[in-house]
Amino acid sequence: MKKLLVFLPVVLVLLSTSNVFASGKPVRLIAPLPQPLVVSGSCTFDVDVKVIRNDEFTTSFFDASGNLVRQLTTGALVVSLTNLSNGHSVTVNISGPSTATFNGDGPFVQRFEGLSALPLPHQFLLTSGRVDIEFFPNADPVILSMSGTQTDLCAVLA
């Protein structure tokens, strides 16, 4: 869960209704953010994530065999992030959008554009601009490219 704030819940919803997608037509669903959500391993302290506003939707695209090939998440997402050690908090708009591209072999690339919060191993970034990250099933994600501005949320919340 610490690797992505939004992606995993969407995949779980899709997997639970996979027979609907055999047609290859796009499917648009609400993008849930599980609550409670605590991010560990990004900062030296745990960060509580509370949803203030979530009007996000994820549109999933499938090939003719029903395999997930791309997901586009759009809409408004505002969260409050709280350092559980000292109570410092900040409210951030992280409405994206983002696009995940799947190759079918396990890893996938997610492109974050606009405003995003990225809890990665040993860093928690608030970004404005474009960030491409490759995610792996059993390894840490790798930042492929980053442009725009980045703010260290660990420093903000310390």
The domain locations on the chain are 7-16+24-157
Checking 135-144 for CB contacts under 8 A at 24+ apart, the result is 135/3, 135/4, 135/107, 135/108, 135/109, 135/110, 136/106, 136/107, 137/106, 137/107, 141/3, 144/109
User: What is the mean pLDDT of the segment spanning 21-28?
Assistant: 76
Residue type, 44: T
- The pLDDT tens digits for 108-152 are 999 999 999 999 999 999 999 999 999 999 999 999 999 999 999
Secondary-structure breakdown of the chain: helix, strand, coil percentages, each rounded to the nearest 5 = 15, 55, 30
> How many Cα atoms are found within 13 Å in the side-chain-facing hemisphere of 157?
28
The pLDDT tens digits for 91-100 are 999 999 999 9
Question: What was the pLDDT predicted at 14?
Answer: 46
pTM of the model: 0.83
Residue 101 pLDDT grade (very low, low, confident, very high; cuts 50, 70, 90):
very high
pLDDT of 154 strictly over 90:
yes
Report the alpha-carbon distance of residue 139 to residue 12 in Å, rounded.
20
Specify the pLDDT at position 31: 93
Average pLDDT over every residue of 55-73: 95
The per-residue pLDDT for 50 is 98
Exposed / middle / buried, residue 45 (Cβ in 10 Å: 0-12, 13-18, 19+): middle
